[in-house]
């Protein structure tokens, strides 16, 4: 049996194990070790330790727990709750004002946490009961919350971008710079959609009642804006600006971001030992899961390439019409449909290492390609039936909100994400202009 046939069976067995309910890191390790041994014997065990050691000692990976700590701390301290309230009152008597506030808070939370679960759960708990009480359309409310939560996947500092940096071999700073404009563009498209819907169907998103607006004087709203909203914005700009501007390395900027988040929480009066304890535990859990998958993916990747998987992928793309563009469209469609069933980190470490070498050899701008991948993976959080944002919101939604309401509510936002992805494909400068300006 040819080694290429073994590579195909190896991939099929991996998906079979995942669909059977085996945790992804164990499925990666089992399939990688088994087929690696069949392919080239015990020499595999001479190579695995070096690959795992390379992940464990990668200095850049220190940014992962630091950014996670920064985001979880801001979420656990409930600063997002105050931000949503302040921005919502800033919208005044406008229809759709609270929906606009949710998108803006999603941008701020995404830029400070980069963790979809934290944003969706936090915003869902805070805003969904209030929106329903104010007679917002259930589907529109659910779709807005889920879409706002996924902005953390593309707006830096994003965990997805850090992982893609490791997989693609590009610098984190270049990916952060490249993702900034597409992320803000996507948020802008969300806001445009809400604005249009507020004009066409104002009854689906009524303004904040007058008595609630009167309960918070305008002077108090502006004061809270200075105290609650501007400090997190300043922290985000300081962290991202230092990375994109080349002033600090990602790990150094992440450490300052973690320290800055801690100071913000202390100064806001929301610090307590229980908050710090929950933050540290959550940081360990998320970091441990991420790094464990990364290490086990090294075994799978090593065995697949040893079995001639790279040549197999090149042959596959050679049969596709349209050359590099045909291969790109095939990859985007494949990632989109895999997003219906698999988590983004599974897709990243299973599919991307198999396909990226082809595009690297073809001379494709890997920074641009990585942003396309990140935006595509972002859609996997919204696509039914297994979009994680849908599960997160369902877990905290009131009983009157049905699963069908959430699934139908996200469909317009999936279309908006597809539009944004198409714009970046057709106009690559949307992603590549800023890295070129700052010299990445």
CA distance 80 to 149: 12
388-410 pLDDT, tens digit per residue, is 778 778 877 888 888 888 889 99
Q: Where does the pLDDT of residue 118 fall: very low under 50, low under 70, confident under 90, or very high at 90 and above?
A: low
Q: What pLDDT score was predicted for residue 112?
A: 67
Q: What is the mean pLDDT of residues 280-288?
A: 84
Is the pLDDT at 335 greater than 90? The verdict is no
Given a cut of 80, is residue 362 above it in pLDDT?
A: yes
pLDDT score of 191 more than 90: yes
Dump pLDDT digits (tens) for 204-251.
Answer: 888 777 766 666 666 777 777 777 777 877 877 787 777 777 777 777
| 64 pLDDT more than 60 | yes
pLDDT tens-digit series, residues 289-311: 778 877 887 888 788 777 777 67
More confident residue, 70 or 154: 154
Answer whether residue 382 shows pLDDT above 80.
Answer: yes
Residue 385 CB-density burial (10 A; 0-12 exposed, 13-18 middle, 19+ buried): exposed
- Higher-pLDDT residue of 224, 174: 174
Q: What mean pLDDT, rounded, does the chain reach?
A: 81
> What pLDDT does 386 receive?
64
**Residue written as tokens 């996507």?**
186
Closest CA to 172 of 244, 108, 255: 244
Q: Are 356 and 394 within 8 A, CB to CB?
A: no
| 265 touches 231 (CB < 8 A) | no
Return d(Cα 218, Cα 46) in angstroms, integer: 68
113 compared with 202, residue with greater pLDDT: 202
> CA nearest 358: which of 338, 328, 335?
328
pLDDT tops 90 at residue 430: yes
pLDDT confidence band for 81 (50 / 70 / 90): low
182 pLDDT tier (thresholds 50, 70, 90): very high
pLDDT band (50, 70, 90) for residue 411: very high
67 or 32: which leads in pLDDT: 32
pLDDT band at 23 (very low <50, low <70, confident <90, very high): confident
- Confidence at residue 214, expressed as pLDDT on a 0 to 100 scale: 66
Q: Which two tokens stand for residue 251?
A: 């790990």
| Spatial CB neighbours of 334, under 8 Å, sequence gap ≥ 6 | 351
The pLDDT assigned to 193 comes to 95
């Amino acid at each position: 049996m040819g080694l290429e046939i073994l590579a195909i069976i190896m991939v099929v067995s991996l998906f079979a194990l995942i669909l059977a309910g085996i945790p992804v890191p164990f499925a990666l390790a089992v399939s990688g070790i088994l087929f690696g041994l069949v392919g080239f014997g015990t020499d595999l065990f001479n190579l695995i330790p070096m690959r795992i050691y390379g992940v464990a000692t990668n200095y850049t990976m220190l940014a992962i727990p630091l950014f996670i700590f920064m985001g979880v701390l801001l979420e656990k301290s409930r600063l997002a709750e105050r931000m949503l309230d302040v921005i919502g009152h800033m919208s005044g008597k406008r229809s759709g004002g609270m929906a606009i506030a949710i998108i803006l808070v999603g941008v701020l939370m995404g830029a400070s946490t980069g963790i979809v679960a934290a944003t969706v759960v936090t915003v869902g708990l805070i805003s969904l009961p209030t929106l329903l009480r104010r007679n917002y359309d259930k589907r529109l409310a659910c779709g807005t919350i889920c879409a706002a939560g996924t902005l953390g996947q593309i707006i830096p500092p994003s965990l997805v971008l850090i992982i893609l940096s490791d997989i693609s071999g590009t610098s984190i700073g270049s990916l952060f710079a490249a993702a900034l404009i597409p992320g803000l563009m996507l948020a802008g498209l969300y806001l445009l959609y809400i604005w249009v819907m507020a004009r066409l169907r104002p009854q689906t998103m009524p303004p904040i009642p007058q008595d609630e607006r009167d309960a918070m004087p305008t002077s108090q709203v502006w004061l809270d804006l200075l105290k609650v909203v501007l400090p997190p914005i300043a922290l985000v700009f300081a962290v991202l600006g230092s990375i994109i501007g080349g002033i600090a390395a990602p790990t150094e900027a992440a450490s300052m971001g973690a320290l800055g988040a801690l100071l913000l929480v202390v100064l806001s009066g929301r610090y307590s030992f229980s908050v710090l304890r929950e933050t540290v535990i959550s940081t360990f859990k998320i970091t441990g899961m991420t790094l464990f998958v990364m290490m086990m993916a090294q075994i799978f990747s090593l065995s697949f390439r040893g079995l001639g998987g790279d040549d197999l992928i090149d042959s596959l793309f050679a049969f596709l019409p349209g050359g590099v563009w045909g291969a790109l469209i095939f990859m985007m469609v494949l990632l989109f449909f895999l997003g219906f069933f698999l988590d983004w980190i599974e897709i990243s470490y299973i599919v991307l290492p198999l396909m990226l070498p082809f595009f690297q050899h073809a001379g494709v701008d890997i920074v641009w390609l990585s942003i396309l991948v990140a935006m595509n993976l972002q859609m996997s959080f919204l696509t039914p039936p297994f979009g994680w944002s849908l599960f997160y919101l369902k877990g905290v939604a009131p009983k009157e909100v049905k699963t069908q309401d959430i699934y139908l509510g996200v469909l317009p936002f999936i279309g908006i994400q597809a539009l944004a992805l198409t714009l970046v494909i057709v106009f690559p400068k949307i992603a590549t202009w800023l890295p070129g300006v700052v010299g990445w």
